[in-house]
């Protein structure tokens, strides 16, 4: 029997899958993945500056959640250690967001530094 948290996560991921294309796509334009933050900012009424920073963070967070939540729940369902697969998937998605230009490099460096500080003991035990 699944707990309430699992059902909420499934609901959240399905809503993100359904709502993101509806907010982004329109009939008269071509779909360009790099314009997603701009469309999210404009359609959701977020502050729109020249670089759409809030939209970029939101779009990157949506992509992160779409890949990270299933990884965490699959590891938890099979009673595996969650930290290493979620670390690998999370770093991959963050690298993808930096490559698209949605996240600045300093956010990626800050997250890498925080992960290194948090998991220093586990990394020491692996070596």
Q: Which long-range contacts (CB under 8 A, 24 or more apart) does 86-93 make?
A: 87/115, 87/119, 90/64, 92/67, 93/63, 93/64, 93/67, 93/68
Q: How confident is the model over 60-108, as pLDDT tens digits?
A: 888 888 888 888 888 888 888 888 888 899 999 999 999 988 888 998 8
Q: What is the crossing angle of helices 36-44 and 4-24, to 10°?
A: 100
pTM of the model: 0.69
CA distances from 122 to 12, 61, 100, 117, 125 (A): 31, 26, 31, 10, 5
Q: How confident is the model over 40-59, as pLDDT tens digits?
A: 888 778 776 777 888 888 88
Q: How confident is the model over 104-127, as pLDDT tens digits?
A: 899 889 988 998 888 787 777 776
What is the rounded distance in angstroms from the CA atom of residue 63 to the CA atom of residue 117? 25
What is the rounded distance in angstroms from the CA atom of residue 56 to the CA atom of residue 40? 9
């Amino acid at each position: 029997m699944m707990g309430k948290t699992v059902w909420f996560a499934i609901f959240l991921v399905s809503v993100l899958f359904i709502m993101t294309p509806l907010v982004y796509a329109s009939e008269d334009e071509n779909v360009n993945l790099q314009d997603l933050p701009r469309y999210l900012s404009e359609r959701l009424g977020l502050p729109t500056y020249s670089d759409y920073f809030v939209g970029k963070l939101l779009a990157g967070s949506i992509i992160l959640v779409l890949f990270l939540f299933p990884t965490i729940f699959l590891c938890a369902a099979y009673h595996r250690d969650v930290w290493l697969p979620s670390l690998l998937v999370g770093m991959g998605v963050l690298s993808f967001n930096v490559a698209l230009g949605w996240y600045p490099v300093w956010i990626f460096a800050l997250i890498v530094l925080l992960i290194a500080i948090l998991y220093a003991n586990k990394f020491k035990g692996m070596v």
